[in-house]
């Protein structure tokens, strides 16, 4: 629980030391400058975590929660509560467990890091039946894979008859793509979607997790989309990949984004998602710039494979009962835009197959080092509108560099897009959606920003768990988000409005110590912020942000 005393701990930080990593010139010269993604961070971060997990007792979660175990003496996990309490159980982080206070029960029992609020005699897990009837933590999220489906995928026993029929038709060369483009879809749409003028939160790898999307929904985002999920891992029944498809019940306009290279693989995933998940649309990733994805012919590589793209569109829309949407870049290389050419191919399909095209105004080669090309986005809008097979053309959304309501409405008017997808702008200031809808600039206070982080932590503990693993996972994703949040400059400190996404601010002192702390680019200070909610980090803890970008 955040108290005045907790916040006042920020006063211990001397203002001239908050930015020590910037001020220390010797450190600047001796340390290599990070650019883009930190590719080697996984080994550094997860080595410490794995070492911690190896040294921990492997307790049975069911026994810690219910006092009984389905497997009895055959259980491979420990049931020795006395030893766990004596040697392993750490002091509680806070007095109240969010899950117990909200839902009337905590699924982690003795393992919960906030357990004293729902443990009788220090070990018996209590349940508030009245709250359990009113709210159920399990019903809040959907699209969780069942054990039966997971095993059938792993044993390659899932029935992909519909997808295989389409794949066989393509491989037999009996299918004329030109004729197929003139036909409507064979599987009717479950419901028609209207994307026009909706605020679309981009699918954001790592940081676009379910707790973050809930925050953005509360601030006014209309459309949300899950993080990019790899087709191969979905078909293998990977638990971590299926977690990317989860949907919170508050996400009323929700899609999943998948990444793959072959029509057969993508059609199987489309069938699987249609049959096992509750989604409103499926988004095909055609913009991922990562080398590993690109070399396999997926992501932005699909922009150069038009014939394969046509086969993918036909395959996926022949088995799915929800619209297919496409997210792409301007092209692969910096000075060679090809999105208009891809759009001229895509527009030949009827709009009951393609629900939306989203165009990010940068190429794969550019990444984030240049401003988004909204002039080119406007050219693509004209290309799409001038010649479409339907009287109503496929809607097109633009994306790139929108961080204020002024920029949003200026881009909407000048480019002619049907809407805008917001990515980094939402990471830096998730209240941007409120600013856009209310057409105002919000001078949000440091205490209000602290409340947002507290809410994210609570949602994280609900989503990932309140045991040690869940706490540390929540901490990790909180830190990943703070690596973007610190870039926000308080409105009251700006000489001119609005703040631009590509402008790196000079060092500054906030209006109070907490605001100054929030502006720190130092990982140590981010960890300090996380400790205000999640307690002290383990001794072996290590965090390296996924993006230490020179593009800011």
Look over the chain and give the mean of its residue pLDDT values, rounded to a whole number: 88
Contact call for residues 432 and 485 (beta carbons, < 8 A): no
* Non-local CB neighbours of 414 within 8 Å, separated by 6+ positions: 374, 378
Q: What is the pLDDT of residues 208-262, one digit of tens each?
A: 999 999 999 999 999 999 999 999 999 999 999 999 999 999 999 999 999 999 9
Q: How far apart are CA 529 and CA 533, in angstroms?
A: 7
Q: What is the pLDDT of residues 259-302, one digit of tens each?
A: 999 999 999 999 999 999 999 999 999 999 999 999 999 999 99
Q: Examine the pLDDT at 391 and tell me if it is beyond 90.
A: no
pLDDT of residue 177: 85
Q: How far apart are CA 265 and CA 263, in angstroms?
A: 6
Q: In which band, very low, low, confident or very high, does the pLDDT at 443 lie, cut at 50, 70 and 90? A: very high
Lowest mean pLDDT among 105-109, 155-159, 174-178, 411-415: 174-178
pLDDT of residue 392: 76
Name the pTM for this structure: 0.89
What 8-state DSSP symbol labels residue 87? I
Q: What is the pLDDT of residues 139-165, one digit of tens each?
A: 688 999 999 999 999 999 999 999 999
Residue 207 sits at the vertex; the CA angle it makes with 438 and 511, to the nearest 5 degrees, is 55
Q: How far apart are CA 58 and CA 522, in angstroms?
A: 35
Q: In which band, very low, low, confident or very high, does the pLDDT at 134 lie, cut at 50, 70 and 90? A: low
The residue among 125 and 139 whose pLDDT is bigger is 125
Structure token digits, residue 185: 């879809």
Q: Examine the pLDDT at 353 and tell me if it is beyond 50.
A: yes
Average pLDDT over residues 62-71: 92
Q: How far apart are CA 473 and CA 490, in angstroms?
A: 29
Contact call for residues 480 and 546 (beta carbons, < 8 A): yes
pLDDT of residue 351: 78
Q: How far apart are CA 24 and CA 83, in angstroms?
A: 47
Polymer length in residues for the chain:
552
* Percent of the residues in the chain that have a pLDDT greater than 90, as a whole number: 70
Beta carbons within 10 angstroms of residue 495's beta carbon: 4
Pairing of strands 224-225, 254-259: parallel
The residue among 45 and 328 whose pLDDT is bigger is 328
pLDDT of residue 50: 65
Give the residue from 435, 432, 444, 440 showing the smallest Cα distance to 511. 444
Max intra-chain CA distance, the chain: 74
pLDDT of residue 383: 87
pLDDT of residue 341: 94
Give the residue from 100, 94, 93 showing the smallest Cα distance to 119. 100
Letter string b/e over residues 335-367, b meaning 16 or more CB atoms within 10 A of that residue's CB: eebbbbebbbebbbbbbebbbbbbbbbbbbbbb
Average pLDDT over residues 387-405: 84
pLDDT of residue 6: 47
Q: How far apart are CA 208 and CA 423, in angstroms?
A: 9
pLDDT of residue 26: 39
Q: Using CA of residue 365, residue 367, residue 369, residue 374, what is the dihedral sign?
A: positive
Active site positions, annotated:
288
Distances (CA, A) of 209 to 17, 45, 223, 552: 32, 19, 14, 21
Contact call for residues 404 and 396 (beta carbons, < 8 A): no
Q: Examine the pLDDT at 131 and tell me if it is beyond 90.
A: no
Contact call for residues 453 and 6 (beta carbons, < 8 A): no
Structure token digits, residue 2: 């955040």
Q: In which band, very low, low, confident or very high, does the pLDDT at 37 lie, cut at 50, 70 and 90? A: low
Structure token digits, residue 270: 């489309």
For the chain, list the domains and their CATH numbers. 61-140 (no CATH), 143-438 (3.20.20.70)
Q: How far apart are CA 118 and CA 112, in angstroms?
A: 9
* Percent of the residues in the chain that have a pLDDT greater than 70, as a whole number: 87
Tell me the three-class secondary structure of 176-245, residue by residue. CHHHHHHCCCCCCCCCCCCCCCCEEECCCCCCCCHHHHHHHHHHCCCEEECCCEEHHHHHCCCHHHHHHH
Distances (CA, A) of 249 to 210, 213, 455, 456: 11, 11, 17, 16
pLDDT of residue 31: 46
DSSP structure string for 499-546:
PPTTPPPPP---SSHHHHHHT---HHHHHHHHHHHH-PPPTT-----S
φ, ψ at 396 (rounded to 5°): -130, 130
pLDDT of residue 27: 42
Contact call for residues 397 and 356 (beta carbons, < 8 A): yes
Q: What is the pLDDT of residues 487-542, one digit of tens each?
A: 999 999 998 899 998 888 788 899 999 999 999 999 999 999 999 999 999 877 88
Q: In which band, very low, low, confident or very high, does the pLDDT at 44 lie, cut at 50, 70 and 90? A: low
Q: How far apart are CA 300 and CA 298, in angstroms?
A: 6
Q: In which band, very low, low, confident or very high, does the pLDDT at 546 lie, cut at 50, 70 and 90? A: confident
């Amino acid at each position: 629980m955040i108290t005045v005393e907790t916040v006042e701990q920020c006063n211990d930080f001397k203002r001239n030391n908050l930015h020590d990593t910037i001020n220390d010139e010797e450190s600047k010269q001796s340390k290599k400058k990070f650019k883009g993604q930190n590719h080697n961070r996984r080994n550094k971060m997860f080595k410490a975590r794995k070492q911690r997990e190896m040294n921990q007792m492997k307790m049975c979660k069911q026994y810690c929660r219910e006092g009984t175990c389905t497997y009895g003496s055959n259980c491979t996990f420990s049931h020795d509560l006395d030893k766990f309490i004596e040697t392993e159980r750490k002091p509680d982080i806070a007095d109240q467990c969010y899950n117990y206070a909200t839902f009337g029960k905590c699924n982690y029992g003795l393992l919960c890091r906030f357990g004293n609020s729902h443990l009788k005699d220090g070990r018996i897990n209590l349940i508030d039946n009245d709250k359990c009837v009113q709210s159920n933590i399990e019903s809040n999220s959907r699209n969780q894979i069942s054990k039966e489906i997971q095993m059938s995928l792993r044993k390659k026993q899932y029935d992909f008859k519909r997808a295989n029929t389409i794949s066989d038709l393509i491989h037999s060369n009996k299918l004329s793509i030109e004729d197929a483009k003139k036909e409507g879809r064979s599987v009717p749409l479950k419901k028609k979607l209207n994307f026009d003028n909706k605020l679309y939160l981009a699918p954001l790898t790592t940081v676009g997790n379910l707790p973050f999307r809930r925050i953005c929904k509360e601030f006014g985002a209309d459309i949300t989309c899950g993080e990019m999920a790899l087709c191969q891992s979905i078909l293998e029944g990977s638990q971590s990949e299926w977690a990317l498809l989860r949907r919170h019940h508050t996400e009323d306009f929700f899609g999943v984004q998948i990444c793959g290279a072959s029509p057969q693989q993508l059609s199987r995933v489309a069938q699987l998602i249609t049959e096992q998940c509750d989604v409103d649309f499926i988004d095909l990733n055609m913009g991922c710039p990562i080398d590993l994805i690109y070399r396999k012919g997926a992501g932005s590589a699909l922009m150069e494979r038009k014939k394969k793209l046509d086969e993918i569109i036909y395959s996926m829309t022949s088995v799915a009962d929800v619209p297919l949407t496409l997210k792409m870049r301007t092209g692969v290389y910096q000075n060679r835009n090809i999105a208009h050419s891809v759009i001229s191919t895509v527009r030949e399909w009827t709009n009951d197959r393609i629900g939306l095209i989203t165009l990010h105004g940068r190429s794969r080669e550019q990444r984030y080092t240049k401003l988004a090309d909204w002039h080119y986005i406007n050219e693509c809008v004209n290309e799409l509108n001038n010649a479409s097979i339907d009287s109503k053309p496929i809607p097109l959304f633009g994306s790139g560099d929108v961080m204020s309501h002024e920029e949003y409405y200026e881009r909407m008017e000048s480019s002619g897009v049907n809407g805008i997808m917001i990515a980094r702008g939402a990471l830096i200031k998730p209240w941007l959606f409120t600013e856009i809808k209310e057409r105002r600039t919000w001078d949000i206070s440091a205490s209000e920003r602290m409340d947002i982080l507290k809410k994210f932590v609570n949602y994280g503990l609900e989503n990932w768990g309140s045991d040690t693993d869940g706490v540390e996972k929540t901490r990790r994703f909180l830190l990943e988000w703070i690596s973007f949040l610190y870039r926000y400059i308080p409105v009251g400190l700006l000489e001119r409005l609005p703040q631009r996404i590509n402008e790196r601010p000079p060092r500054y002192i906030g209006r109070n110590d907490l605001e100054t702390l929030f502006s720190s680019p130092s990982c140590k200070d981010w960890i300090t912020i996380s400790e205000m909610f999640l307690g002290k980090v383990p001794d072996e803890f290590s965090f390296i942000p996924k993006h230490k970008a020179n593009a800011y």
